[in-house]
Structures are given as structure tokens and as C-alpha cells.
Chains A and B, each alone.
Chain A
Amino acid sequence: KQEVTQIPAALSVPEGENLVLNCSFTDSAIYNLQWFRQDPGKGLTSLLLIQSSQREQTSGRLNASLDKSSGRSTLYIAASQPGDSATYLCAVRLRNEDSTLTFGKGTMLLVSP
């Protein structure tokens, strides 16, 4: 059974710092991997999607990398801002026909001004 682990569980940084969130998965035969953001009391917002054939995706200050063979992904946030405070969730999909996203427990990020 696919398991997704996110480290650290929580992270507190001052504004302006660059930071890295980690995600690992046990079954490397994934179809794609997504990073989501969840604000308190809200649903999930998709940030970046990396197909299994890709190594990284970028959107603004966010960069996600994927090393499928080692079962790892990182989300890099540059020049963090207080508005980045949220829980970041990593999710993998095993097969194209698979409707199931398997999520990690998330990393709760607090960026203080």
C-alpha cells in the first residue's frame, strides 16, 4: 500500500527565508505527484503538479522537484511571506486510471512578519 510521509510536520520561519518541505512515498511507480495548500477551515488548492516523467515544476516563488526512483519530492518556497502560512500537502497518484490520490499528513507552515 502506498504511504506518503511529509517532514517536518510543522515549520516556523521569519519572513523572507527560503524553505524546503519534504515528501517521500513508498511506491515509486507513481503516475504523478501534486502539492496542495490548505488554509484553516478551507479546502485544498492545487499548487503544482509533476508528471512522473518530469523532474520539476515552477510557479512563481514555488518550485517542486521529483525524484521518482528514490521516492522523494521537495517543495521549495523562495522569499517566504506571512501569506504563505498554511498547511502544505503532498499527494501521489499511482496510475492514470486510478482515481485515488494518496495524501501525506501535511506540513504546517507559519511565516512570521
Chain B
Amino acid sequence: GAGVSQSPRYKVAKRGQDVALRCDPISGHVSLFWYQQALGQGPEFLTYFQNEAQLDKSGLPSDRFFAERPEGSVSTLKIQRTQQEDSAVYLCASSPSMDRSGNTIYFGEGSWLTVV
């Protein structure tokens, strides 16, 4: 595709509900990143994939957060039993490079999650 595509763009979830956020990276991009951006804050790293391998998940805030990229293209970030503090924009980014430096990195427009 022309850019990184994320869906849904907006999601309102009731506390305790499970949500799934989808990311379609740029075709052929090897590296895929998830970031969480709370209101008024900078993005914070969640997890990183190289193809289908999840090489770094050190930023996932709890075991309620799970990410996968089973075929090395589309990725899904799943949040179980959502809490109010999970309200944020979830940004996906992809990069064509194999190394983690991601010098050329392209961000999607984000999925805006509000937990009520």
C-alpha cells in the first residue's frame, strides 16, 4: 500500500472489554513497531517485529497486552480486559531495513482507543 494503514481509527471500549488493533505495514517492510502515545505525551515503545519474529516486547506494560505478526506482514495488537489507563493512541510503524535502527521509519495515523 501507499503507507502504513491502521484500523480501527477510533475505538471506544467499555472497561474490561478486549480490543484488537490492526496494522498493515508498507508492502515488503521487514521491521514493524508498535508505540503507545498518551494524551500530551510522546510515543512510548511497546514491541518490535522483524518479519514474523517478535524480537523485543520489553515495552508491553502488562500481560494484558499481546502482539503478533504471524505471516510477517499484518500485525495485531490485542489488549485484554481493558482499563482506563489503556486509553491512548496506538501507533504502528514500519521500516524496510533489517537492522533495528529503523533509519527510514514510516508511521501510521494511529488507532485512538478510549476506555470508558
Contacts and interface: CB of A to CB of B under 8 A. Distances in A.
Contacts, number: 61
A4 interface: yes
Interface of B: 4, 31, 33, 35, 40-45, 48, 55-56, 58-59, 91, 93, 99-110
Contact of B42 (A43, A46, A99, A104): A104
Given A43-B107, A96-B101, A106-B42, 15 more contacts: A42-B109, A43-B110, A45-B107, A46-B106, A96-B99, A96-B100, A99-B31, A99-B48, A99-B55, A100-B45, A100-B58, A101-B45, A101-B102, A103-B44, A104-B42
Contact of A97 (B44, B99, B107): B99
A44 B107 CA distance: 6
B56 A41 contact: no
Contacts of B48: 99-100
Nearest to B4: A43
B40 A49 contact: no
A31 interface: yes
A59 B45 CA distance: 27
A105 B44 CA distance: 10
B100 A97 contact: yes
